[in-house]
Amino acid sequence: MSPWFIITCIGLYFTLLLLIAWFTSKKATNESYFTGNHVSPWIAVAFGMIGDSLSGVTFISVPGQVGQNNFYYLQLVMGYFAGYFVVSRVLLPVYYKMNLVSIYTYLFERFGVVSQKTGAFFFILSRVLGAAGRLFLAASVIQLFVFDAFGVPFALSVAIIISLMLLYTYKGGIKTLVWTDTLQSGFLLLGVIFSIVFIAKDLNFGPTDLYHAVSNSQYAQVFDFDWFNKSNFFKQFLGGAFITIAMTGLDQNMMQKNLSCKSLKDAQKNMESFSLVMVLVNVFFLSLGALLYIYAEQKGIAIPLNPISGKPDTDKLFPMLALQYLGSGAGLVFIIGLTAATFSSADSVLTTLTTSFYLDFLNVEKSNKTEKEKMIIRKRVHLGFALLLLIVILIFRALNSKAIIDTILMIASYTYGPLLGLFAFGIFTKKIILDKYVWIISIVAPLICYVLSENSVAWFAGYKFGYELLLLNGMLTFAGLALISKREKLATNI
């Protein structure tokens, strides 16, 4: 496929996003940027969350990992499903009752300023790293098939991509993102569906052939009950549930759009309908993965190797087949789907990182500054995070040597654990704590988890930690908070 054709399609795609941004950001204020004026339709938020949750990582890595991990990822998705109902019925009522913009304001009201800043810090750390990983994955594909042909260095191509994101998020914030993400989720879903159609057509598979090819393949195994494997069902299910609670319910990026709905009831409808769609969408992604390997086997195509490790580079399988073997139609679908998947998750990160830093660290809204001064500060923070994201992507590229999805989810096990412990202690106990020591507990708990994970095989008779490490991290944080709690009880029910 011609690099000029690909870059033209991406250009047209961004033109459409900019048009939406232009319409939605008219007369935008700080209130529009942070909350969308609380008028976002729940069904638009729910549909937009598909792209926000799946991202370019899911679009490439989940299908690619089927060759090594079968359909075991679906066990994690089942856990996600349970976790979304906890978010809907436990966390959203708390946030709406307190009328929050930044969810880490809850930690300030419950414990104090150190807890608030600790929670915001771990969110910012995790989201910067996660967004960098997602953008790195998409930018690497675009670099390989587009920018390399024009001699554009990777650093410049990433800067161009981030600049495009800035153009349509800079002014409207959440008010714009609700609608751009709705559009991008639609393109993402069309991307995976049409990719399956193109593979089926090339293999001369009808709908029945397609079903039997996937269900009877060696990749269709869903459950693993070997307790010593990372892919064990109970580890995956519990890990999935708590990853959702932490990475959605305790994450400013995922909650800010939910908090822009008109009411708690609308936000709950959004979350619960989205949880059902999420399971179905992931089944499509895993089925696509099985078809990619079936196609490669039947056509005698070798899986690309990672130049550093020498092992199969599963993240490159889908891009390679779509852009080199399946024809221009499949290539176009892949590029648009990847672009939509990546930017629907990454663009909102700039807005929500800005929100958290602006409210939780700078505390600008409570200052005596004018609205114009506040808006200038907010825009500067937005630009600052764009630059930080660029720097981290370049570092991530230099250091990464394994499947991106494993990297991001494992990072989450360490950075979201303290958030899980903090919110759980606040919601399920009435005790107050020595706020000034919270940051110590929040660092020690992940460090203990890291040591246990690195030595688990030797210390625990071959046991390997999976995503349940997040739960352990949260429990250790909870226990540490209990140690620094006071005897006095909380006077009011927050």
Over the stretch 78-126, which tens digit does the pLDDT of each residue have?
999 999 999 999 999 999 999 888 899 999 999 999 999 999 999 888 8
pTM: 0.79
Q: Are 6 and 157 in contact (CB under 8 A)?
A: no
Report pLDDT for 370.
83
Mean pLDDT of 364-390: 84
Partners of 312 in the β-ladder:
305
Mode of pairing for the β-strands spanning 431-433 and 485-489: antiparallel
pLDDT-based confidence at residue 263 (cuts at 50, 70, 90): confident
For the ranges 45-59, 62-76, 77-91, 145-159, the lowest mean pLDDT is seen at 45-59
For the ranges 47-61, 66-80, 320-334, 387-401, the lowest mean pLDDT is seen at 47-61
Angle formed at CA 199 by CA 196 and CA 203, multiple of 5 degrees? 135
Whether 484 has a pLDDT exceeding 60, the answer reads: yes
**Residue at 106: amino acid letter:** Y
251-279 CB burial, b ≥16 within 10 A, e <16 = bbbbbbbbbbbeebebbbbbbbbbbeebe
Query: Which position has the higher pLDDT, 403 or 102?
Result: 102
Whether 439 has a pLDDT exceeding 90, the answer reads: yes
Partners of 305 in the β-ladder:
312
Q: Distance (Å, rounded) from C-alpha 474 to C-alpha 19?
A: 43
Query: Which position has the higher pLDDT, 466 or 207?
Result: 207
Helix (H, G, I), strand (E, B), or coil: what is residue 333?
helix
The pair of structure tokens assigned to 418 is 């303290």
The pair of structure tokens assigned to 152 is 């554009």
Whether 47 has a pLDDT exceeding 90, the answer reads: no
Report pLDDT for 31.
65
Partners of 431 in the β-ladder:
489
pLDDT-based confidence at residue 36 (cuts at 50, 70, 90): low
> In which element (H, E) is residue 415 found?
helix 404-415
Report pLDDT for 350.
81
Whose CA is closest to 317, among 74, 105, 63? 63
Report pLDDT for 38.
67
Over the stretch 195-239, which tens digit does the pLDDT of each residue have?
888 888 888 888 888 888 888 888 888 888 887 777 788 888 988
Find the DSSP H helices in 203-263: 207-215, 233-244, 252-258
Report pLDDT for 109.
92
Partners of 261 in the β-ladder:
40
Query: Structural domains in the chain?
Result: 3-419 (1.20.1730.10)
Q: Are 61 and 403 in contact (CB under 8 A)?
A: yes
Q: Are 241 and 79 in contact (CB under 8 A)?
A: yes
Whether 403 has a pLDDT exceeding 60, the answer reads: no
Q: Distance (Å, rounded) from C-alpha 360 to C-alpha 259?
A: 17
Q: Distance (Å, rounded) from C-alpha 447 to C-alpha 468?
A: 15
Average pLDDT across the chain, whole number: 82
Report pLDDT for 473.
92
Whether 180 has a pLDDT exceeding 80, the answer reads: no
195-227 CB burial, b ≥16 within 10 A, e <16 = bbebbbebeebeeeebeebbeebebbeeebeee
* Length of the chain measured in residues: 494
Helices (H) and strands (E) in the chain, counts: 20, 2
Report pLDDT for 339.
76
Q: Are 285 and 50 in contact (CB under 8 A)?
A: no
Over the stretch 408-420, which tens digit does the pLDDT of each residue have?
656 666 888 899 9
